[in-house]
Amino acid sequence: MTEPAANDSLQYSSPDIEKSAEKNSLKRMIAAPFLSLLSWAVPGLGHALLGKWGRGLALFATVAGLAVAGYWMRGEVFAPHSPDPFGTLGFLADSGSGIFYYMARLIETAGADVSRAAGDYGTRFIAAAGVVNWIGVFDVFEIAMGRRA
C-alpha cells in the first residue's frame, strides 16, 4: 500500500475555502493601505488597531520623543518645496513623523537655530523621528497583508 504524498492534501480544498481565501485577500488589500495611512498620520495607531499594542506604544513614544526633542533643540524642519536635493530628502524624512511634522510650528515657535550644535542635532532627531515612523508604516502594511506577524 502506498502512502499519499505530502501535498495531496491540497487537492481536497473545497470551493468555499477558496472563496473565503479570496475574500480575506480582498479585505487585506483594502485594509492595508488604510491602516498604513493611519499609522503615518498618528505613529503607532496602525499597530494598535491591529492589536499590537506594545509595538504601537513603543513606536509612538519613540517618534514623539525624537520629534519633540528635535524641536526643543531648535532643529530645522524642512519645507515641502526645496530647490536643493538634500532639502527634498530632509522633507521626506521629516514628513514621515505625521502629525508631529504639522505640529512643528506650534512646538517650535522661535524657529530653527542650526548655528549651535544642539540645533544641528535637533535637525537629525526630527529626521530620525520621521524615518522611524516610515519603518513603522511599512511594518503595518506587511502585518495587514498577512506577510508578517
Q: What cell was used for 143?
A: 502585518
Specify the number of domains making up the chain.
1
| 10 domain residue, yes or no | no
* pTM (whole model) above 0.95: no
- Domain range enclosing 131: 21-144
| 87 domain residue, yes or no | yes
| 6 domain residue, yes or no | no
Q: Residue 110: helix, strand or coil by DSSP? A: coil
Distance CA 80, CA 130 (A): 14
pLDDT of res. 116: 77
Distance CA 89, CA 79 (A): 10
pLDDT of res. 14: 58
pLDDT of res. 115: 73
**Residue type (1 letter), 133:** N
| 12 domain residue, yes or no | no
pLDDT of res. 53: 96
Per-position pLDDT tens, the chain of length 149: 555 555 555 555 555 555 555 657 777 888 899 999 999 999 999 999 999 999 999 999 999 999 999 988 888 888 888 888 898 999 999 999 999 998 887 877 767 776 777 778 989 999 999 999 999 999 999 999 988 88
Q: What cell was used for 32?
A: 492595508
| 8 domain residue, yes or no | no
